[in-house]
Amino acid sequence: MFNNIKLKISNLKNKQTYSKDKSFIFPEKQSMHYDAVNMDINNTCNQRCRFCFSYFDKNKVYMDVETFEKIIQILPLVRDYQGGGYGLYISCVFEPTVNPQFIEILSKIPKEGKNKCFFTTNLVRAMDEEYIKAIINSNIALLNISIESLIPETFHYLTQTKGFDKYKSNLQLLEKVVNEKEGYIPSIRFISMLLKENKDELMDIIDFCFKHFPSEAHEVRTPMIRPMYDNEWNLNQLLSKEEAKEMVDKLNNYPGHIDMNIQSIEDIKESDLKVIPQEKSCEVEKDHYDIAKEKISIVQDYEYLFLRIEPNGTCIDKLTNVPEEIPLDKTEEYFIKKLEHLYKNKAQAVICNNFDDINNIVEGNPNIFIDKFVDNDIFFEVTGWCCPDRDIISDKLILELYGNKGDKHYYYCSIKERTDVDEFYNEEQGWSVGFTSYFEKSKLKDDEYVLSLLFRNSLNQNIKYEYENILKIK
């Protein structure tokens, strides 16, 4: 029934005969990486925007160029920028151009940075053409520029500083430099807060940016409202649901690429109301699948922006949450160790030590497709999907690995929707469940493993689906 499906997994081509009906699949080598790393090269700013969530410490710290040169050794370990925030934030929460060594720091970013590095600036510091050329000629992938108003009075009111003339002049210089430059220029993207103060001006601002710059996108966002922030001013600036909808409609019809993160005052109030009663009312007893699901989702949350590098050369990871001095004589080693820690933690989150239900297993028809089987220094990762029977509970899944010399392991899976296979299973009138799991390498003793999926069904049985090929790991 499923013979018409071509497995996407490329390494199946290397198959060898195992037995009459079994083939080997081999893992593809993949390097470990941080999805996104967050850094700041100082802890201050030359403005005090009314909407800003940043906290400005009286004790000003500026990263020096020697420290940056060491820390940038993290770059090969960071995933490429591809929108959505992946990559290395050279500066994120504060204003990088106030660092007196900013241009020298930028010059230390190696060529690889063109795929990975970015920062956000308010463009308010006094800059000449040389300064702007140095930014544009540096090895960065993306330059984010904040733009809230092109009206001096509004600009000054919002930023609480008198920087409009410098801002306008820098924008003009930037336009000149970008338009005159031949060859590579970093992508340019603008970010505007949507506030009552600037809502009537917003479409003109967006027009201005797309008209004057080869802008990749324009992001429009409302201020984040978090319990730890002072939200009073921002709450007063949020639009009503109706006003927000009108704005979203306009933005949706805009011909340029707009990213939106817009919440109305009603959205905020509703989300406050939703969180509290729901959590209290549905206290259902959790089973081991639910507990594992929570554990896995926490670990997955850790992956994005796992590391935060501070301007004083310390580093905080989300697992330990304790600031550590980065050893500048062994920076690369240090970042690799941190990465191994992150990966180990992920592999350990899926281990199922308490699967003791082996006498309650019913064999099901195997329809399993594996489209990713990779091998990094810490674990093997298997991603695939299957078409199980109708009465299984899709998020109660355990994966069994059974080695050729009897080594046996059980793992929980992260369950994902696989809309990419919709067409197929609709045709077959079936349904699909996507799964991913990780097998810590140091725990696997055998060379070859049979993989099976054990789904819980409504009768509390485990329906077992055995994958048709053998995972060859050594």
Identified binder of ligand SAM from the candidate list 42, 99, 146, 469, rule CB under 6 A:
146
The string of DSSP letters for 83-109 reads: STT-EEEEE-SS-GGGSTTHHHHHHTS
Task: Kindly tell me which of 23 and 54 has the beta carbon lying closer to ligand SF4.
Answer: 54
For 35, 195, 275, 356, the CA distances from 240, given in Å and listed in that order, are 36, 11, 21, 54
The stretch near ligand SAM (CB under 6 A) out of 10-18, 49-57, 419-427, 435-443 is 49-57
Identified binder of ligand SF4 from the candidate list 47, 215, 234, 331, rule CB under 6 A:
47
Binding residue count for ligand SAM, defined by CB under 6 A: 18
95 near ligand SAM (CB under 6 A): yes
Number of CB atoms found within 10 A of residue 246's CB: 13
Residue 413 CB-half CA count within 13 A: 27
The stretch near ligand SAM (CB under 6 A) out of 218-226, 284-292, 334-342, 404-412 is 218-226
What's the min distance (Å) between Cβ of 159 and ligand SF4? 6
Contact letters for ligand SF4, residues 93-122 (x by CB under 6 A): -xx--------------------------x
What's the min distance (Å) between Cβ of 159 and ligand SAM? 9
Identified binder of ligand SAM from the candidate list 87, 163, 223, 364, rule CB under 6 A:
223
**How far is C-alpha 286 from the chain's CA centre?**
28
Alpha-carbon dihedral 103, 104, 106, 107, rounded to 10 degrees: 120
**Could you tell me the strand order of the sheet in which 187-193 lies?**
258-261, 215-221, 187-193, 142-146, 117-121, 87-91, 36-39, 304-309, 314-317, 324-325
Q: From the list ligand SF4, ligand SAM, none, which binds 191 (C-beta under 5 to 8 Å, kind-based)?
A: ligand SAM
109 contacts 152 by C-beta, under 8 angstroms: no
Task: Kindly tell me which of 135 and 471 has the beta carbon lying closer to ligand SF4.
Answer: 135
Task: Kindly tell me which of 132 and 454 has the beta carbon lying closer to ligand SAM.
Answer: 132
Main-chain phi, psi angles of 344, to 5 degrees: -60, -45
Identified binder of ligand SF4 from the candidate list 7, 12, 49, 185, rule CB under 6 A:
49
For 34, 306, 324, the CA distances from 321, given in Å and listed in that order, are 17, 10, 9
What's the min distance (Å) between Cβ of 255 and ligand SAM? 23
What's the min distance (Å) between Cβ of 41 and ligand SF4? 13
148 near ligand SF4 (CB under 6 A): no
191 near ligand SAM (CB under 6 A): yes
DSSP letter for 297, please: H
* Short-list 444, 356, 442, CA closest to 406: 444
Contact letters for ligand SF4, residues 324-363 (x by CB under 6 A): ----------------------------------------
For the chain, what is the total number of helices (H) and then of strands (E)? 12, 22
221 near ligand SAM (CB under 6 A): yes
Query: Site residues for ligand SF4, window 219-238 (CB under 6 A)?
Result: none
List interacting residues with ligand SAM (CB under 6 A).
45, 51-54, 93-95, 120-122, 146, 191, 193, 221, 223-224, 234
